Chain A
Amino acid sequence: MSIRISQIDKTYGKTRALEPIDLDIHDGELIGLLGPSGSGKTTLLRIVAGLEQADGGSIHFGERDVTHVHVRDRRIGFVFQHYALFRHMSVFDNVAFGLTAMPRSQRPSTGEIRTRVMQLLEMVRLQDFAERFPAQLSGGQQQRVSLARALALKPDVLLLDEPFGALDAKVRQELRRWLRHLHEELNFTSLFVTHDQEEALELSDRVVVMSNGRVEQIATPDTLYRQPANRFVFEFLGDVNRLEGDIENQVLTCGNARVAVPGVENGRRELLLRPHEVRLDEQPSARAHLPVSVTAVVPVGAEVRIELEADWLGEPWLATISHADFERLAITRGKRLFAQPSRLHRFDTPRPQTLAPLSVS
């Protein structure tokens, strides 16, 4: 079922939680709402669920206008960050709750409920835990029960509020993969909130990046990363190095550092680059003379993270380089090197610009 959100806004006292927001979600899409805390993502999700009332605007599920429909009649499934299982009910009773809460005329028979609940428990691979109480399950298992419970009524849309936020990294990874499979299998329309960029990029068909109650960008994960709509999106989606200096004749100077910036007008400007867009060398190049010294070395996974400092830098830079480069340059703490930007991004123009490729070897 598609969801159409138009001109939804919300104010708490004097705080503007949501600027008027428009968002169209297609049938079967998995959408991630990404943003820092206080960005309004949870408020938006709760308004879609009917747990909060918007000040204005409308929400349609398919052709059905649900703007003023009570949460209990919206036919949504909702998964809470802290699971919100009923602790005095067994796993079975938790999952069966929605079915047994139906008015007598529509309620399935006890046998049908039993079959349906066991099916759901099988789907979340908890069929052996039906008689357990929530307190006897791990966090990951509880969240799976919560999902089965939300799906029991075959909701039009599934809404998840930071569903993996309370779990540790490994379980989170596992559940994410599992949710994606489930989504591919059942193809429900779903909207989830997260503050974790990786989670949003991995799970979503499209990501809605929000800040301060506004939508900053709606795009596929790939577009989002490669073509951020603005500086906020760029900064929020990963680590960022800053370079600020005076530009004259297409050369940026900052203390004893300088770098060629073809096509950039004169004046004081700030340019940004990602850690993987920093190369390191023992010699400066014709385009860039950026002396730095290594202050920390962290080998993690496929790459090595290097922290760099220099007196022309306000805050340290981060560079990620390959293990091969790391060995070739024999990097140790205190070593002096030259940084070589492969790309530079600027966000002070109406449309973001990327200067690339910059390096000549």
Chain B
Amino acid sequence: MIAQALTRRRERRVLPGFGLSLGISLTFVSLVLLLPLTSLVGQLSQLSWSQYWFLITDPRLLASYTVTLLAAAVAALSNAVFGLLMAWVLVRYEFPGKRLVDALMDLPFALPTAVAGITLATLYSSNGWIGRLLEPLGISVSYTWVGIALAMAFTSIPFVVRTVQPVLEDLPAEVDEAAMTLGASDGLAFRRVILPYLWPALVTGTGLAFVRSLGEFGAVIFIAGGKPYETEITSLMIFVKLQEYDYAGASAVASIVLATSLALLLAINLWQGRFIKRLHGGRG
């Protein structure tokens, strides 16, 4: 029966390579992605609920959740503003050096996070190029949550720019023109007409920046300094537990991080799908 169904299926497929590509893809996904992830489940299954609860509610860990969430939120929101500005300027205006600026937007993805980490730590340390200027003003970035947010923001810059940019490029000139012929000022037209067009991309980009910031490690640890209860991010907590050979504790924290990221990613996808459906003719 099943064999028959499969052959019938195959007859309908015009293009070759289904079996081969399915085989390779499934093997790879199983070995590289699923098998390691199940080992996490395996490790966790050795814990009782109360043990698990105890591990994930350790006060030092709770403090790390707070600082990670706070810094990631600040980073994502700053990037929403910065990314929107950059996308607007790169799409709408011509100016010398524009292509260079455009190319630079991808730097945070191309630059290894450890390199970004030591560079930011050096720049903002009390005798660094920028830290030196901030110190007299009483602002310290290194070893504070501000530094963590800064590093997170740096590594997630491309998300908002690169999701908003194509949408803005595709925005027909008539949208601007319709708003202007109806007497709208620049500010009003941007807020009530253009921004709603960019909204799905903006939220998606900001959401992705947030998810990325939650998991960021290399760029953050150097500038954060890792003071317990103050500047320890959750990823660092996993790392510290591993160095203490506390695999159970590390796994428990990892499961929280993993679940949060996946839930957020899923939420972004669902939200995006719903929004797009409304604009393209679903019943409002």
Q: Do chains A and B touch in the complex (CB under 8 A)?
A: yes
Q: Is the C-beta of B172 less than 8 angstroms from some C-beta in chain A?
A: yes
Q: How far is the CA of A131 from the CA of B284 in the complex (A)?
A: 9
Q: Is the C-beta of B184 less than 8 angstroms from some C-beta in chain A?
A: yes
A78–B284 CB distance below 8 A:
no
Q: How far is the CA of A332 from the CA of B127 in the complex (A)?
A: 98
Map CB proximity to B onto A25-64 as digits: 1 under 8 Å, 0 otherwise: 0000000000000000000000001010000000000000
Of A7-15, A95-103, A293-301, A341-349, the segment with at least 4 beta carbons within 8 Å of chain B is A95-103
Q: Is the C-beta of A90 less than 8 angstroms from some C-beta in chain B?
A: yes
A84–B177 CB distance below 8 A:
yes
Q: How far is the CA of A102 from the CA of B188 in the complex (A)?
A: 10
Q: Is the C-beta of B8 less than 8 angstroms from some C-beta in chain A?
A: no
B183–A80 CB distance below 8 A:
no
Q: Is the C-beta of A82 less than 8 angstroms from some C-beta in chain B?
A: yes
Q: How far is the CA of A58 from the CA of B5 in the complex (A)?
A: 76
Partner pick for A133 among B178, B181, B184, B284, CB 8 A cutoff: B284
Specify the main secondary structure of chain A where it touches its partner: loop
Neighbouring A residues of B180 by C-beta, 8 Å: 51, 70-72
Neighbouring A residues of B184 by C-beta, 8 Å: 72, 97-98, 101
The verdict on A88 contacting B196 (CB below 8 Å), with A72-B180, A77-B181, A80-B177 known, is yes
Of B19-27, B215-223, B264-272, B274-282, the segment with at least 4 beta carbons within 8 Å of chain A is B274-282
B172–A135 CB distance below 8 A:
no
Neighbouring B residues of A77 by C-beta, 8 Å: 181
User: Which residues in chain A, 126-150, are within 8 Å of chain B measured between CB atoms?
Assistant: 131-133, 135-136, 149-150
> Considering only CB atoms and an 8 Å cut-off, how many residues of chain A contact the other chain?
31
The verdict on A136 contacting B281 (CB below 8 Å), with A84-B174, A86-B193, A88-B196 known, is yes
B281–A98 CB distance below 8 A:
no
Partner pick for A87 among B177, B183, B188, B279, CB 8 A cutoff: B279
Neighbouring A residues of B193 by C-beta, 8 Å: 86
Q: Is the C-beta of A73 less than 8 angstroms from some C-beta in chain B?
A: yes
Nearest CB on A from B30, distance (A): 42
Q: Is the C-beta of A339 less than 8 angstroms from some C-beta in chain B?
A: no
Map CB proximity to B onto A138-169 as digits: 1 under 8 Å, 0 otherwise: 00000000000110110000000000000000
Closest to B182 in A: A98
The verdict on A84 contacting B284 (CB below 8 Å), with A73-B183, A135-B279, A149-B182 known, is no
B181–A150 CB distance below 8 A:
yes
Interface centre among A70, A136, A149 (most CB of B within 10 A): A136
Q: Is the C-beta of A76 less than 8 angstroms from some C-beta in chain B?
A: yes
Neighbouring B residues of A51 by C-beta, 8 Å: 177, 180-181
Nearest CB on A from B276, distance (A): 11
B281–A135 CB distance below 8 A:
yes
Interface centre among B182, B193, B280 (most CB of A within 10 A): B182
Q: How far is the CA of A51 from the CA of B173 in the complex (A)?
A: 10
Closest to A135 in B: B281
B183–A84 CB distance below 8 A:
no
Nearest CB on A from B46, distance (A): 51
A86–B178 CB distance below 8 A:
yes
Closest to A85 in B: B178
B174–A101 CB distance below 8 A:
no
Nearest CB on B from A275, distance (A): 38
Neighbouring A residues of B183 by C-beta, 8 Å: 72-73, 98, 101-102, 153
Q: How far is the CA of A199 from the CA of B197 in the complex (A)?
A: 34
Closest to B189 in A: A101
| Smallest CB-CB A-B distances: 8 pairs | A84-B174, A98-B182, A135-B281, A78-B181, A84-B178, A88-B196, A101-B184, A71-B180
User: Can you give 7 contacting A-B residue pairs, CB < 8 Å?
Assistant: A51-B181, A72-B182, A88-B196, A97-B182, A98-B182, A101-B189, A150-B182
12 new A-B contacts at CB < 8 Å, known A51-B181, A80-B178: A51-B180, A71-B177, A80-B174, A88-B196, A88-B279, A89-B196, A97-B179, A97-B184, A97-B192, A101-B192, A136-B284, A152-B182
